[in-house]
Chain A
């Protein structure tokens, strides 16, 4: 067990370092941000001074070493534009993104699980067709387009909900739906297929033949077995929601990590882009690592595989 944990831990660390290197190189090889930050009529002397202050004149390997060294101490550098600690900026915006991601997940679960269970328990029924239809829509509708559509309908036309921003609980509704929609589609299909599979498995037939009523079978036997794969998918979806909320946050002017990243990319604030990518990569890798550990505790086959 310890061996497995260490091995997977080492792999995760390598993965993180690889991500770091990739982001570092990609962001620097696209050009020089000084011209984008300083006004057009800034004299040469000022540009040079700015480069000095920001450490942009150091050779690449020195900048990389500095960045990795700093990261290991929890220092992810300073934003070129905000002149603030990157980690501080990220912490400031993180709660808003977590809030949105959780709300999107909640929406996905509240819609997908009942629909998927109904569909799976009654294959061929209307519920089942709806479940499959919703699953397809979730895969095909682009989230930002859905977001804009929701704004037009529920905010501009009907005036039921705010069109942007993070003010009240009502502000959470539309972005959560737009963000959670594709995850919801995925979850419906998963739930439905797992329910179908479990339903036709041996131990369920045994339960029925023992004379248990259908509701008893559902709650005590089917659902718990459906829960495990769903929960593992939710963990992974949450990671994607954290990192992938950029479009929705921009459309809804949601003040989270997504809008921070959009501004940083637009203005070539590469220390911030770097820091955010590493942060998100770190979270994603950590969640996968923890999930693997949990599984290995539950299922011994995974440890040795």
Chain B
């Protein structure tokens, strides 16, 4: 009896160790040195992607886009949508042995909303964190927010209270501690970040690799060389041409996906936009028809871009490919509309362009200028450095039109709608009370289906009376070694590496 028990126990232990043993070293290239490993101070995608291997949030968005429990096992939302009660997972431990509990959530909020942090405003959206007991915590927001839980999932990396109070944020950045699948080992400035598997990770069976090393490789052609030699397993930010070289390489697999970043020409109806032909909706529709967007996609991006019809794009909540068809390229229609609006001979207007701010953006600006010239609209291009371009609120440094882009990391268009269209926001250049009202409504609508319908209504309005010329979304090109499994990057270029493994 005892022998049988012991044998099965031994077998189970053997089985468990056989399954759960992480193995191999995964090497990932980075296009720039991650400036910070403390998430509220991570200013860009690169820093955020590295950081997320170290932490968990209370909730999580899985690969299917569903909100699932993480460090919170379950939660309740109050009837008025302003109070969230989270019931925390027990038995979770930080990399330094500190236990995870309600104190951690409070400490995370307090350190997160420090005004010296880049993302302080995200934490400031919560106006109080109350500890109800060791494993229950209550967060309140001033108003109901539809995307609160998504923001929580993407931004609130739990930190250990005693440790962070002891070393401060600066000390924490030098040696970050979280509850995540990987623990911090070392960091060589400008060179690499070395992480190792967290043996006490609360999700059994993860992570799948023993060591995770991020190497900084600023030059894209060097990243290409490194993936070809196998010195890195995952290389990102490659171009279509570079990826073409990898086409017949059996050791490398190409990964492509549409980037959740919309490129557009913005119009102003404030500042420099007042008193321009842009006030007439027919003019704005005409400019959309007149811009040779298919030509731009083909000639400049070799077809590796998608035309967009609005700010809600493929993969976003509420996207409907039948409803959201881009306007065709139709210079005849454009001329007719311009004539109707009183500009049969066109007009002159200035357009700002952020030189080298994005891939091929200079060529895109020139192409827009050329196509608008065909219908009599003479565009005076104002090329300027990205510094100057973004240096003044409401694009004050440029004329009534400008080319820019906006990404969203939460699977919905809300951040860009808010950022671009809410009056008073730094990048807002178009004020329309109806759009403002709709955005406010979307912010408060917690039900996903209702919100989807609102996004569609938003699209209709923004399509009929466009505050933008809608251009394109780009395809992102990455490459991985063929023995890498489980790599699933998301539309805003985020990746999470806990499920990635290396086949021998």
Contacts and interface: CB of A to CB of B under 8 A. Distances in A.
Contacts of B472: none
Nearest to A166: B191
A250 B223 CA distance: 11
B248 interface: no
A40 B419 contact: yes
Nearest to A28: B387
Given A37-B118, A255-B191, A263 B33 contact: yes
A48 B10 CA distance: 63
Contacts of B217: 164-165, 253
Given A93-B190, A253-B222, A260-B190, A163 B229 contact: yes
A266 B35 CA distance: 13
Interface in B227-257: 228-229, 231
Given A42-B118, A156-B229, A253 B219 contact: yes
A164 B215 contact: yes
Interface residues of A, number: 49
Interface string B406-417: 100000000100
Interface in B340-373: none
B189 A89 contact: yes
A251 interface: yes
Contact of B189 (A49, A53, A93, A253): A93
Interface string A157-168: 001001111100
B302 interface: no
Contacts of B231: 162-165
Given A43-B426, A93-B189, A260-B190, A35 B221 contact: no
Interface stretch (B15-23, B137-145, B268-276, B389-397): B389-397
B43 A81 contact: yes
B190 A164 contact: no
Interface string A115-158: 00000000000000000000000000000000010011001100
Interface string A244-285: 000000111101100110110010100000000000000000
B78 interface: no
B118 A92 contact: no
A41 B425 contact: yes
Nearest to A82: B35
Contacts of B419: 40-41
A50 B455 CA distance: 33
A259 B225 CA distance: 18
Contacts of B118: 37-39, 42
A255 B119 CA distance: 28
A49 B189 CA distance: 28
Contacts of B415: 41
Given A41-B419, A151-B225, A250-B218, A31 B116 contact: no
B436 interface: no
Interface in A20-62: 30-33, 35-44, 46-47, 49-50, 53
Contacts of B391: 31-32, 35
A81 B191 CA distance: 17
Contacts of B32: 263, 266
Given A81-B35, A253-B219, A38 B43 contact: yes
A268 B43 contact: no
B252 to A, nearest CB: 12
A268 B388 CA distance: 11
B320 to A, nearest CB: 25
A256 B121 CA distance: 34
Interface size classification for chain B: 35 or more
Contacts of A151: 221-222, 225
Contacts of B191: 165-166, 253, 255
Nearest to B115: A49
A73 interface: no
A163 B189 CA distance: 19
Contact of B121 (A43, A156, A259): A43
Contacts of A263: 32-33, 190, 218
Given A39-B119, A89-B189, A163 B218 contact: no
B42 to A, nearest CB: 10
B385 A159 contact: no
B424 interface: yes
Nearest to A257: B190
B226 interface: yes
A83 interface: yes
Given A30-B388, A164-B231, A253-B217, A42 B225 contact: no
A200 to B, nearest CB: 47
B426 A255 contact: no
A259 B190 CA distance: 7
Contact of A253 (B218, B386, B393): B218
A250 B219 contact: yes
B228 A156 contact: yes
A302 B308 CA distance: 70
A252 B215 CA distance: 12
A42 B426 CA distance: 8
Nearest to B124: A46
A260 B35 CA distance: 11
Nearest to B409: A39
B163 interface: no
A179 to B, nearest CB: 15
A259 B222 contact: no
Contacts of A44: 393, 424-426
Contact of B390 (A35, A49, A83, A262): A35
B392 A32 contact: yes
A268 B385 CA distance: 11
A163 B235 CA distance: 14
Interface of A: 30-33, 35-44, 46-47, 49-50, 53, 81-84, 89, 92-93, 148, 151-152, 155-156, 159, 162-166, 250-253, 255-256, 259-260, 262-263, 266, 268
Given A35-B390, A148-B222, A266-B32, 17 more contacts: A36-B390, A37-B43, A41-B425, A42-B121, A42-B426, A43-B121, A43-B425, A81-B35, A82-B35, A92-B189, A252-B222, A253-B222, A262-B218, A263-B32, A263-B33, A263-B218, A268-B387
Interface of B: 32-33, 35-36, 41, 43, 115-116, 118-121, 170, 188-192, 215-219, 221-222, 225-226, 228-229, 231, 385-393, 397, 406, 415, 418-419, 424-427
Closest 8 A/B residue pairs (Cβ):
A31-B387, A32-B391, A35-B390, A255-B191, A255-B190, A31-B388, A31-B391, A163-B225
